Chains A and B, each alone.
Chain A
Amino acid sequence: MTTKLTDDVHWISSCHPDEEYHMHMSEYLIQGEDGTVLVDSGSSHYRDEIIEEIDRLTDGTGPDVVLLTHSTLPHTENVPAFEAKWGEIKTIAATGRYPEIVGLPNAEARQLNRPVEFAGRPLTCIHPLLTDVTVSQWAYDHESGVLFTAEAFGHYHDPGNCELTTAEIDGGVSADHIDDFYLDKLPFIDYLDREKLGNAFEMLFETLDVTYVAPIHGNPVSGEDIDRYVADVLEALEPPEGA
């Protein structure tokens, strides 16, 4: 399933269902000046549908660059299948050294904190403000204003809301879905200083003109929803009673 987020950024998403709710496993395809950049490779569970969508969006040529937000699964595991389908693809690992130890022997190491052109498109990769493993990065697309993130800005969602941005969800994203996701995925949240983190988020969005925050595991958060969403995240970081 593909949704057009901006003129040249496509959201490709699959939903991983649980008993109660869904979790997105998303990739984003950016149409650059000289080709396409795919952010993350997605899960092997949905390999066939992901390849079919990318093939359709790229007129059968496949992506020119795969930019990974995480060098762990399920963010990386379709890279070999993509290369089997479309040939060698320039792949950027979410690690500055030794991509081979994170299972990506042919990938290039990342470069942080300055714009790098991928397929003619300048993107700046940064250390995430909030993530789980160290081998992760966020990427800001200067032209569209989309900020690609993992694992922060993830959340679960109800069946029926799979294809919507946060602005299109009736009543917005449920705070419980944000809370549950953070509790599951970021096991250190009891140690976080919410004020410090809140300040950093505030500065980030004051500094960058973000049209969408595009998470791998959640509905894209539209610019006008960011303040409320961040407030919900900080609320989610409050330890549960009795913890």
Chain B
Amino acid sequence: MPQEVSKPKYRELSDGLYWTQECLPLGTLSELERFDLERWVEPDEDVHGCQNAYLFSDERNLLFDTLTQPNSEHVVELIDELLDGDDLDYLAISHPEANHAGNTFTILEAYPDATLLVPGEAAGYGSGHSAEHELYHIAAETPADVDQVPNEIRYVEPGDSIDLGTHTVEFEAPLFPDHSFTLWMSERTTNTLFTVDWMGFLHQNSNCVKTASELDRDVAVEQVFRFHALAFPWMRFGDTDAIERAVDDVRERFDPDVIAPAHGMVMTEDLDAYLDRFLEAVTALSREGERSNMESKLEYILRPPEVDQ
């Protein structure tokens, strides 16, 4: 099976809000081996990871994240198609990782009047080092001198909002970040919470760019488990009580109608059930970090028989 990032697919989630998705074939369950928490994929069925970006087409247009560099040739034509010839006004970057921001300069070059919105404060406690530096040098072809990029670059922080016309987006402090310069985003009219790396899950090749409630089968805890094991390695050592309190915070403070992650399917109904599934997954994941499990794992990993120490 060819291991290639797919060309982006898209759909309109609600009036003027587009979901674009590229898929990463990961092979079949037998290739992925060893997990059996719950059956959710047939033996000959391909499993996909995915990368999402979201586009608001409104009086002012905004793209949240950029898809990845293998689609650099397609991303601008996709934006052009969805905006029907309109200009892009804002490119917002969730965090300066290449899979989220790798086409930044390709897009800025195509839309020189677009304003680049990037996290100006760390997701953690401090301002940290090098936020600007990391973003500016993330593109495949970094401009020789970023000062010469004609686009306005604006640093945004939790609480900053952008009025797009019908929609208003607001940047949010993430409750579950991986990278220290990560911002979530919310949108008021649709009550959508864009959770970036959090709340992603793997999907079957028959289910690309479908909302969670449209999938041809239920989302299994294992799908959620596998994704978070990959994207949030620290959750092995997670304090499940603290994580549950943060999920309660999401329910109470944001109470979203839509959860739109960067690496999973958009959830539009029964969000509490998906949040519960995440908690089940993280509980299972945290068991991996317990002493007995880590002992056998580290022994296996670090004392390979072919090395005589």
B150 within 8 A of A: no
Q: Which residues of A contact B303 (CB under 8 A)?
A: 207
Are the CB atoms of A16 and B289 closer together than 8 Å? no
Chain A CB within 10 Å, residue with most, of B122, B139, B178, B290: B178
B42 to chain A, nearest CB (A): 21
Are the CB atoms of B180 and A186 closer together than 8 Å? yes
Q: Which residues of B contact A184 (CB under 8 A)?
A: 122, 124-129, 180
Please provide the chain B residues from 106 to 141 with a CB less than 8 Å away from any CB of chain A in the complex: 122-130, 133-134, 137-140
The complex places the Cα of A240 from the Cα of B99 at a distance, in Å, of: 32
Interface-lining segment among A1-9, A60-68, A122-130, A225-233: A122-130
Q: Known contacts A133-B179, A183-B125, A243-B125: does B233 contact A73 (CB below 8 Å)?
A: no
Are the CB atoms of B238 and A187 closer together than 8 Å? no
Please provide the chain A residues from 71 to 117 with a CB less than 8 Å away from any CB of chain B in the complex: 71-74, 77, 97-98, 100-103, 105, 112-115
Q: Known contacts A184-B126, A193-B286: does B238 contact A122 (CB below 8 Å)?
A: no
Q: Known contacts A23-B129, A101-B99, A134-B233: does B298 contact A207 (CB below 8 Å)?
A: yes
A93 to chain B, nearest CB (A): 11
Over the window 20-44 of chain A, the binary record of Cβ atoms lying under 8 Å from chain B Cβ atoms (1 yes, 0 no) is 0001000000000000000000011
Q: Known contacts A191-B242, A191-B243: does B3 contact A97 (CB below 8 Å)?
A: yes
B153 within 8 A of A: no
Interface-lining segment among A51-59, A158-166, A167-175, A197-205: A197-205
B170 within 8 A of A: no
A132 within 8 A of B: yes
B300 within 8 A of A: yes
The complex places the Cα of A209 from the Cα of B309 at a distance, in Å, of: 9
Over the window 132-157 of chain B, the binary record of Cβ atoms lying under 8 Å from chain A Cβ atoms (1 yes, 0 no) is 01100111101000000000000000
A180 within 8 A of B: yes
B70 within 8 A of A: yes
**14 A-B residue pairs with CB within 8 Å:** A23-B129, A45-B133, A102-B97, A103-B139, A134-B232, A140-B302, A183-B125, A184-B180, A187-B122, A187-B124, A187-B180, A199-B291, A204-B298, A243-B125
Are the CB atoms of A131 and B129 closer together than 8 Å? no
The complex places the Cα of A18 from the Cα of B127 at a distance, in Å, of: 11
Q: Which residues of A contact B309 (CB under 8 A)?
A: 142, 209
Q: Known contacts A74-B134, A77-B137, A203-B295: does B289 contact A193 (CB below 8 Å)?
A: yes
B234 within 8 A of A: yes
Are the CB atoms of B51 and A101 closer together than 8 Å? yes
